[in-house]
Structure formats: structure tokens, C-alpha cells
Amino acid sequence: MTEQDSAPPQRGRAPESSPDSPELTPEERRSSVNPELLERHGLNSVQVGERQRLGLANVQPRTTSRSITEILRTHLLTLFNGIIFACALIIVLLGRWLDLLFAVAAVGNVVIGLGQEYGAKRKLDAIALLHQDHIRVLRDGMVVLIHREQIVLDDVVELRRGDQVPADGVVVSSSDLDLDESMLTGEARAVPKHRDDRLLSGTAVLAGTGRFVVTAVGPKAHAVQLAAQAKKYLKINSEIRRALERIAFWLSLALIPITAVVFNGQMQAHGGWAEAWASGEWQEGLVTAVSSVTAMIPAGLALMTTISFALAAVKLAHNHVLIQEQPAVEILARVDVVCLDKTGTLTDGTIAFHAASEMDEGGRAGPWRRAEELSSGELQPWQRILAHFGADEQANPTAAALKVPFRDVPGHHPAWRVQFSSMRRFSAVSFAETAGDLSGQWILGAPEVLREAEAVEGVDTSELLKHADAVSAQGLRTVVLAHAPNAAPPDSEETVPLRRGEQLPGPLRPVALLTFRENVRRDAASTLEYFREQDVGLRIISGDNPHTVSAVAREVGLPVQGEAVDAAQLGTDPETLRPLMAQHTVFGRVSPEQKAAMVQALQANGHVVAMTGDGINDALAVKRADLGIAMGSGAPATKAVSKLVLLDGRFARLPGVLAEGRKVIANAERLAHLFLTKTAFGVGLGLVFALMFWPFPFLPRQFSTVDFIIVGAPAFFLAMMPNPQRYRRGFLRRSALFALPPSVVVVVAVVTVSFFGRLFEDAAAQIQTASFITLALVGLWILNLVLRPLNAARIAVVTGLYLLLAAVLLLPISQQYHLFQLPEAELLAVAFVTSVLGCGAVELGHRVYTAAVDRPASL
């Protein structure tokens, strides 16, 4: 809904400059708007339009995808592209246009990469915009819903419990408005806000309602500036990207001296610099040197990894999973502990009233009565009070469930009220003496709050708490209604702390114990079973009674390791929580700051932690986790700090998320095996032939083709294939160890063929053709190793590449283009025998590699 749809123009608009008038400064613009009229009616359509024209809308930076500038820089401005461009320039200047195939392939890779990632960016940004939370703003005298980015300077924004503050501003009205500013200050406590107080974007509403006037939007907003600083100084913890950066760094250092050696070696192979220059052979030497240098560059490795990340994000988005930061795709595979909030995760978030037990004067519970029994008897004052809590527009889900069984709302207006927050764990309302038997202060909250309050004489709250624990052990949520009949008058100074929710009234008398039931998700048991099969640890962390949490955990088939821990007596120091997090799986009565501390404790124990949540009380822990996962129906503040959002709120999406992450990181490792092997034997061939002063046995067009067959073409299939392999640390080490044995075999095999070609005094074209055959056959066997375990799809890929190799060698047009010449029988036999021996050596080396890599994992 937009402001144009909401209402007809209102009378009495503030004076507004015409579109042709000079632009005003923010101070001049605000002074031109009547403050009283602004608070009552908000901006009008003309004022909104002018601010949008002046660029004063709340445009937010995109984190779901990289910017176009970042995409272009990643794909174009690389050292490897610079070397390829320089080599291509040499070939162009020499007039050897047909040897530009390597440059055409590089340009094709860049174009494909740009197209794939830009397409993914458009899809992800569109999905992210579609699922933005709506903001309530006052415009033309009516509250309308708009997207966050449609907010403009001077808008009047309405806030409710669970909302994230979308922009900086100043409060103009407050009804018990409490904010959580821990995202900015790190201090987890409710901060009351009153008229003229300043609000900062990135904070979240814990309780109450209010309105504020926007004073800073977009890049000038506090939260956006903090995010920009964080991005400027902090790097995402990505093992894949760190490995690629290290490969690029060391290879960049090595390429400069190696290139010099290769160029000198090829000139010496053609008679030395002076003779080559005099005879014109220097041109052939430059061409073979270019072929040698381009063989060393793993040009497609970063490209294919980037495409894998982008396409994984798009695939997950189509499955209703929004990746808000692309590196989160990799973290998916590394997660080994998932922390779950019970409500909205194991349960579907819906709460239904179960039963009520009225207390006698001594605080002893009476018989349990269901909703139908309560409606049939005489109406009691406490039942009308419960109707008031249930009818409150700002009621939390538990209190809102009272609306169905308790419908007789009192006609008296309360003197004051305290909205529920997870920090104080209760809500309160006070009625004046004129309300008769409803007068006094009424508290609705967790039974544990009675420990902190003074009880009336003769009431033993310890027995009540034991009774509540016994009920909670059956999987029911328990809430107590208590009354302070002799409370201070509503307008006295004594009530100020109570109205702010800073302390409980007293003495309190328990009036009724209430139970609620949550509906367990049908798919929760199978999802948890999947995680256990994948060796992913599970921790249930909830603000509910530990007995209730434990009962729900058992209902979904989760073994409870040790006893359920009551966190009410625990602190917030991650160090003291470390042993508990290692020994127990279920935690109850956990405060928001304790949830975050528990995540830190698991991280300190060496785990990669995912945290799921939907409520505002989960936001801090979701932010602290390596992978924060929010439910699509959750609080806007929680979704804003998460890296991943389950748009439809289905917990069963998580196994698919984990599988996609594992596929990306496992396929990235396979790609690294392939490309690093090619780089290693490229460097080896370049150095050996340069130091032996032998001509490099490939023309650029020939090496570009064999590179496409054994690396380029299969890389596209590798990046997309399913791969259930579990994450293991040491990505770069394993890739380097894999690449070393086969690269040595390739160098020895090609040098052997060249040696015999020179020995038999065959023509250079025949030696090049025999070398091409040898490299292609051994390279395809290396690909065979990378693809294992083989299945029908992978066998089809390998078979297709063998057929492509046959076509390249046998088709006349290909022979003419590649300047192939059939080797003599002796050299052809050497090529095939060397290839077979080379494949056998590669197989043997791979078995040694497998044994060496797997041994530490099995200890």
C-alpha cells in the first residue's frame, strides 16, 4: 500500500513550496512544516513527492547481493586478466589472430560470469524487496503501510512491539515505549523512551507503542553508518575466499620471475636472442612463451566459485530461503551446532489456552477448568482482567490467546499499564478504586516473577512454583495472574517505577495459574533426525520453563543430554557457560543476553554455530551466531540482523539449506583440485622447457583447446552437481596435496613425448600433436579422479569429453585450425604408452593422497 492509495487529501496541509522553488536545507524544510499539524496528520502527498525528488528517501544498502561495481571489479580487474590481456596484445601485434583462442575463452568466462551473477543479483534483490517488512507511517491523516525504503525525511513513523526502528528520529508520542539498544550499545536492558527523546535506527521495540519524526534517512542513519564502518574494517570469515586470495597472492609473486625465465628459455630454444631476432624466429619464440605463460593461470577458479555462490543463493531463494549475505552460503556447510528457540521453531508459533486453576487465599491451586467450564460458571473479577490482557492490541502471543476464552472486557479504562517484555517477563495493568473489585495492580507473567516479589501474608509461593514446575514438565506453558489490592494510588510517586516496569508491586497474591499449549511442527522430528544423521549438534535454548522445553524436545524425538538447565540462576559470562554448553542440550528460562552468551560459549568451544529465532528476544543471539537464521513471520528486528531468512517460516527448509551449503563448498574444493593441478603442471612445463631450452610443445590455440576439454568444460558441470560431502577443515592444504602428484606425472609424460620426438627428429607439428594427445588423455583421467564417486551423470560428462577429444583430433577443419600433423608410428606409440603409464601413475598417486588425507580424520 502506498500513500497515494491510503486516503484523499486532507484539509489544512502545511505550506509547501512548489516544484520550481529553490531546494531547501533540512532545517529550512522542517521549519516550513507546522509541527502540530505534522504530528496529527503527518506529511501530505506533495511533501512526500518533493522529498523523494530531492533524494531524501530511506534508501538502504543491499546486502543480499554485491553491487554492480563490485561485480565488475571482481570479474574484470584481476591480475590474471591483466596477464591474459598482455599476452593477447602480443599475439595481436604479431598478427597471429588464430592463436587468440585463450583470450576468447577468458572473455567468454568473464561475460558468462557477469551475466550469471548480474542475473542472480536481480533475482535476489527482487525477492528481498518483495519480502521487506512494512512500516506504518502517518500520511494525510491516516496510518498507511509502506516499504522501509519509501520512508522520507520528516515522516511520522508508528512503532509497536517487535518493530525495528527504520530510521533516526525524535519521539513525538510514547505509550510505555521501551527500546532494546543492545545492537548499538551492547548493553541488554530496556530503555524507556519519552517525548523528545532521540531514536537511532537499528534499535528494536521491546514493549509499548509510540510515534517519532524521522530526522535522518539512508546513508545518514546511524545504523547504516555503523554497517558501513563494519564492512570497511571487517572481512567475512570465508575459508574459500581466504584460500583463493592466498593462491592469487603466491602465484602473482611467482609469475613475474617465472615469466622472465620462460621468455628467455623460448628465445634460447630458437637460437638465442641475437640469432632469433636476426632470423625472425623471435616471433615464434614469443608465441610459444605466451602459450606457456597462459597455461599457468587458473583463470576460471574464482569465476566458477563466484557463480556457485550466486546460483546457490538464487536456488535457495526460489525455495523460500533468502540469503541476506552471500558468504553465508559457505557458512551453511561449516555449521556443526544449531541452536533452536522452541517457540516458532520446534513449535509453529501458535499458542492456545489450555486450562486455568483458581488459587485460594493461601495460594493453593484449585481444580483445573477448561475454557468451556469457565464460560459456564459465575464470572469472576480475575476472568475480566484476563479478558483485558487478551484484548490488548500489543499483547504478546501468550496473552493474545486469552482473547478466545475470556471475552468480557472491563468497561473501566486502566490508570496505567506495563507492556510485556522478555527482559522483565511480565505485563501489568492498574485500575483505580472506582473500578470496584477490579481495582489495584494486576500482574500477568511467568511464575518465576513471584520469587522477586513480596507475597501477602499466609501465601507460600514456593509451593506454587513447585506446582507450576510439575505442570510445565507435561509440556505446558504456565503463567500466573497475581493481584496487589493495596497498591499505591495510580498518581503517586511510588507507582512511577512500576509504570516503567522497573520493579514489581507488592505484596502480591496469586489469583490464578494458567496453562497454554503450543502446537509442535509436524516436520520438526524428521528435521532434527536429519541433523543428528549429519553429525550436527543441537541445543534447545528457550525463555520458557526448562521442564516445558524438555517435554517438547522429547516430543519431537530429541534426546535430552543431562538434565534440562534452568538458566535463571546462571550469569552471562561465556567462559562460565562453556562446560554447560558442552554437557547439556536443553536450556530454559534463558534471557536474551544469555542466549547471546551461550552462542559465544559454543564458539569458544570451537564450534561453528547457527542460531534460529523469530522473536525480538532472539535478535542479539541471531546476530552473534556465525549463521543467524530468522523466521519470515518473526520480528523485523530479528530478520534485519540475520544472514538467512526462512521466508515461509518452515523449519523443514533447513536440511535443504545445509545440503546446498555443503554442495557449494565441496564443489568449490573439487574445482580447486582441477584448476590447481592445471596451474601446477603449467608452471612445471613452462620452467622445464625453458631451462632445457626446448620449444614449448603447444601453440596457444592447442593449449587453449586441451584446457577447455580437461578443465574449462567440466568445471561448469562440477559447480552445479549435487555433492553431499561433509565439510572438513583444511581446504587449501588438501587442494595443494591433490594437485602435486598428478602435475608431476603430466610434466614427466609431456617431457618424455617431446624427448622421443626430438630423438626421432620428428617435425615440431608432430611433437605438438603427440603432446596434445598425451596431455588430454592424462588430464581426462585426473578429471575422472576429481569426479569420484562416479554416477551416471558424471560418466556421461566424461564420455562426452572423450568424444569431444576425438572430434578435435579427427575432424579435418579442426586439424587445419590447430595445425595438427599426424605423428609417425613410433612417436604415436610413445604418446599412447606414456599416456597409459601416466594414467596409472596418477591413479597410484591419488591412492597415496587419499590415504594421507584420510588418516588424520580417522584417528
In the prediction, which pLDDT does 751 show?
A: 95
Whether the Cβ atoms of residue 33 and residue 41 lie closer than 8 Å to each other? no
10 Å CB burial of residue 368 (0-12, 13-18, 19+) is middle
Pairing of strands 537-541, 337-340: parallel
pLDDT score recorded for residue 4: 38
Relative to beta strand 477-484, strand 440-445 is antiparallel
Asked if residues 10 and 141 have their Cβ atoms less than 8 Å apart, the reply is yes
Are residues 364 and 388 in contact, defined by beta-carbon separation less than 8 angstroms? no
The reported pLDDT for the residue numbered 821 is 94
- With residues binned 3-state (H G I as helix, E B as strand, rest as coil), the percentages for the chain, rounded to 5, are 55, 15, 30
Gap between the Cα atoms of 182 and 189, Å rounded = 7
On average, the pLDDT of the chain sits at 79
pLDDT at 21 (0 to 100):
36
- Residue pLDDT, tens place only, 41-91: 889 989 899 888 888 888 766 555 567 777 777 777 777 777 778 878 887
The rounded distance, in Å, linking the Cα atoms of 741 and 147 is: 57
Contact 549, 588 (CB under 8 A): yes
Model pLDDT, residue 810: 93
User: So what's the pLDDT on residue 23?
Assistant: 44
pLDDT of residue 582: 92
pLDDT at 121: 67
Q: Spell out, as residue ranges, where the chain has pLDDT lower than 50.
A: 1-31, 186, 227, 229-236, 856-859
Helices and strands in the chain: count of H runs, count of E runs: 33, 22
Q: Can you list the alpha helix ranges (DSSP code H) found in 820-859?
A: 825-858
Active site (annotated) includes residue 341: yes
For residue 829, give the C-alpha cell: 606409440
Cα 747 to chain centroid distance, Å, stands at 43
pLDDT of residue 391: 87
| Cα separation, 63 vs 642, whole angstroms | 11
**Of the residues 341, 348, 392, 626, which is catalytic?**
341
Using CA atoms, how far apart are residues 42 and 26, in angstroms rounded to an integer? 16
Q: What is the DSSP letter of 152?
A: B
CB 504 within 8 A of CB 453: yes
88, 105 contact by CB (below 8 A): no
What is residue 298's predicted lDDT score, i.e. its pLDDT?
75
For cell 500466573, the residue is: 480
